[in-house]
Amino acid sequence: DIRGVIFDLDGVLTDTAEYHYLAWQKLADEEGIPFNRLANEALRGVSRRASLMLIVKDRQYSEAQIQEMMERKNRYYVELLKNITQNDLLPGAIALLDELRQAGIKTAIGSASKNARTVLQRLGIADKVDAIADGYSVQKPKPAPDLFLYAANQLGLEPAQSVVIEDAAAGIEAALAAGMWAVGLGPVERVGAAHVVLPSLAGIKWADIQAKLNDAAK
Ligand code: G16
Ligand code: MG
């Protein structure tokens, strides 16, 4: 049975995607590279370096230039993070975290972001989770299973005892590769590979997720 829940951060507990977008757009504009909100959709849950590669496409840059652009984008992003408050928690997030703690279910964050701890602090939920796996925890980014395996290990749980809640296709892929249960938030076109698909966490109780996972297991 399930004893732990691993939450993705951006797109599940909060929506930092807009800030990532604004930072990438500023960088792209400065570099004269075409970019827009639609192109940004492909960067959902994708690591910083992989995101930059998707933006620059086949343009050739040295490793030093790549590093500089990643650092510049991050400076813009970190500046924007100063705007985040508890009001930026997505509907249902706090309620589910609190309910899980009450029920004795372990919780972790599994985020690709190197800024995850800062975001959690600003959201005021850093002490509401039992473990944090972030962009510093493992080498291989999602869709590799490493980040979620690291998170489950931190909780002392086996993959089969863990459920991942994700909004990105790469994240669902990572959860399944880890041998975990996957709950996808958003359209089936994006997260349809998950065992259970929900529009969001708004109004979702732990019993709802358990019941849907039980159905999926039949
Ligand atoms: C987040 C975002 C991605 C971002 C990645 C790395 O992932 O969804 O857009 O590129 O983290 O973030 P940073 O540049 O701050 O290290 P997640 O896993 O929380 O959805
Ligand atoms: Mg995400």
11 lines ligand 1 (CB under 6 A): yes
- Give the three-state DSSP class for 2: coil
Q: The complex's ipTM?
A: 0.94
pLDDT, tens digit, for every residue of 83-116?
A: 999 999 999 999 999 999 999 999 999 999 999 9
Contact 48, 74 (CB under 8 A): yes
pLDDT, tens digit, for every residue of 8-51?
A: 999 999 999 999 999 999 999 999 999 999 999 999 999 999 99
pLDDT, tens digit, for every residue of 122-135?
A: 999 999 999 999 99
d(CA 112, CA 75): 17
The preferred substitution site among 8, 113, 136 for testing ligand 1, maximizing ligand atoms within 8 Å of CB, is 113
pTM: 0.95
d(CA 175, CA 178): 5
pLDDT at 218 over 90: no
**What pLDDT is stored for residue 210 in this prediction?**
97
12 lines ligand 1 (CB under 6 A): no
pLDDT, tens digit, for every residue of 135-161?
A: 999 999 999 999 999 999 999 999 999
Active site residue 10: yes
